[in-house]
Structure 1
Amino acid sequence: MKVAAIQMVSGVSLERNLAQAYALLDQARHAGAELAVLPEYFCFMGERDADKLLIAETPGLGKVQDFLADAARELGLWIVGGTVPLATDDPQHAANASLVYDPAGRCVARYDKIHLFRFHDGRQGYDEAAVLRPGDAPVAAAVTDRAGLTWRVGLSVCYDLRFPELYRLLAADVLVVPAAFTYVTGQAHWEVLLRARAIENQAYVIASAQGGQHENGRQTWGQSMVIDPWGQVLAQQATGPGVVVAELDRAHQQEVRRRLPALEHRRL
């Protein structure tokens, strides 16, 4: 199965972000991708964290969800819609939801980011829990490729990457990581954490990132990539908008798991 990790530098205009996302999804389709993963907050990076509450959509209704459904159907793609702010019963907190759409435009899975980022280095600080409500359950989707093979795709978002127990529970063939890693943490930890998750789960990893200088002054690390079950980086892009395409090989994954049956050796 050919897949695409889409990298963006999203801004404060929902319309411009969606237009750029569609152009990149179309580029992925022309490159032969069957599954495309958009980054965290692909649709909106506001001036302030609380701005995402202004665009939070009712689950199943809204401009961004319609966009994802239409794009999946028009382009014939499986799409992981990075994250979309979805309304909760608390108007002061939204869910940071990753949504999966099939090529018919149906939403087949929703995962709410479980682990919420908090960081302060004395100069810059973030506290996602101020405006987000965490999810409480792992979610995987069954994605069928053009050859008829079904892949178990485990969903995660950004800061989840630091919690390996989530990925064990997902027990997936493919792990997707839409993200908006800060420049500081991304430079230090992004690639090593992604490769670790691939190696320890003997799974493909599709990591789609925000990557560049945003209108709100934030700088994100980027380096979107696809990694194989042996931990090899198959393709990547450092910064700026773009599409990272790679082929997932079921036989290669099975061979890795046969040669080193670490998943069968677990005792805890």
Structure 2
Amino acid sequence: MRVALIQLNTGNVVADAVTAAEGYIREAAADGADFISTPETTHLMEMNRKVVLEKASFQDDDPGLKRFRTIAAELKVWLHIGSLITKVAEDRLANRGFLIGPDGEIKTSYDKMHLFDVDLGGGEAYRESALYDGGQSAVVAKTPLADFGLSICYDLRFAYLYRALAKAGANVLLVPAAFTRPTGEAHWHTLLRARAIETGCYVLAAAQTGLHATGRSTYGHSLIIDPWGSVVADAGTDVGVTIADLDLAKCAEARQKIPSLTHDRDVTVTTVDAT
């Protein structure tokens, strides 16, 4: 199948962000993409608690989601919206990804499980759990194209999630993200390649990039990685479309060479005082 990753520099105006994403989605479809994936927080990048609650919508009322469903049906493509900031209560949000079929129907959704509560130093800190509810279950979506394992951004740091997705049948792992520049420079490529190698899956990671309206800076470098851990495509730091053709037979080849998914052991840890 031919896949496309959309790299965005999303701002804090939903309508503008949807228009920008739509243009790239149409470009990808015109280039023959069967499956198109967008980054985390596709249509809103906003840090202020009061403002984001004012701008976010409940899923059924979200104008951006409605537009993306219409586009998928028109273009007859599978469209993965990496995530939208979605209201789940008047004062609470979810970071929710959506898989939309070529008929425009939402086939499944996934709420980010691991919330980004970190202190990066230099005054840069994030407390996602102060406003967002974490998801309670992982999701594998079995489609005519591939079996997709869904995740979002900070989930990337939890290898057990991707092992569970692969064991549940996933052969393509989706990792839409808005990685900060410092953590991206240090860890992005390494972690994504590791997840591919550990599972024998393709990894598709659509990313946010550049300086955003709220002052946050994201790393970019949307990546397509094959099941042996090789980088097939790297979008760099510009907004736009990155396309590659996937051969899913490579998943079986990688897993035959290194069948580690079948070699798990229950581990008992013995702690020894060796002072």
Q: What range describes the TM-score normalised by the shorter chain of this pair? A: over 0.9
1:164: how far off? 0.8
Residue 263 of structure 1 aligns with an amino acid whose one-letter code is L
What's the CA shift string for 1:52-98, capped at 9, x where partnerless? 32233223332022012111111111111111122223x22101100
User: How many corresponding residue pairs?
Assistant: 262
Residue 12 of structure 1, CA deviation: 1.4
The separation in 2 between residues aligned to 1:159 and 1:102, in whole angstroms, is: 26
Amino acid at match of 1:169: A
Go from structure 1 to structure 2 and tell me whether the alpha carbon gap of 1:217 and 1:245 turns closer, same or farther (over 3 Å shift): same
Which string of whole-angstrom CA distances, capped at 9 and with x for unpartnered residues, describes residues 88-145 of structure 1?
23x2210110011000000011100010102221321111111111111001112223
State whether structure 2 residue 113 is matched by structure 1 residue 114.
yes
* CA drift at 1:46: 2.1
Name which one, 1 or 2, has greater alpha-carbon Rg. 2
Partner residue, 1:160: 155
- CA RMSD in angstroms comes to 1.3
Tell whether the 8 Å contact from 1:53 to 1:85 is kept in structure 2 after alignment.
Answer: no
**Which 5+ residue runs of structure 1 have no aligned equivalent?**
146-150
Superposed counterparts of 1:1-268, under 5 Å: 1-46=1-46, 48-89=48-89, 91-120=90-119, 121-145=121-145, 151-171=146-166, 172-268=170-266
C-alpha displacement of 1:252? 1.8
* TM-score normalised according to structure 1 size: 0.94
Alignment partners' CA distance in 2, 1:29 and 1:63: 21
Q: Distance in 2 between matches of 1:51 and 1:249?
A: 44
Alpha-carbon distance in 1 for matches of 2:74, 2:2: 18
* Aligned residue identity for 1:187: E
AA aligned to 1:54 is: E
Over the matched positions of the two proteins, sequence identity in percent amounts to: 40
Query: Do the aligned residues in 2 keep the contact of 1:50 with 1:131 (CA within 8 Å)?
Result: no
| Residue identity opposite 1:117 in structure 2 | F
CA contact 2:200–2:252 (8 Å) conserved in 1: no
Contact 1:226–1:233 (8 Å) recurs in 2: yes
Deviation at 1:266, TM superposition (A): 2.2
The separation in 2 between residues aligned to 1:123 and 1:59, in whole angstroms, is 33
Cα pair 1:78 1:143 within 8 Å, conserved: no
1:230-250 CA-to-partner distances (Å, cap 9, x unmatched) read 000001111121111111102
Q: Offset of 1:47 from its aligned partner?
A: 5.3
Q: In the aligned structure 1, how far is the partner of 2:12 from the partner of 2:122?
A: 26
Matching residue's letter, 1:105: G
Partner in structure 1 of residue 273 of structure 2:
none
Deviates most, 232-241 or 101-110: 232-241
- CA distance in 1 between partners of 2:114 and 2:247 (Å): 30
Aligned partner of 2:140: which letter? Answer: A
User: Could you tell me the TM-score, scaled by structure 2's length?
Assistant: 0.92
SS class of match (2:176): strand
Which stretch shows the higher mean deviation, 14-23 or 54-63? Answer: 54-63
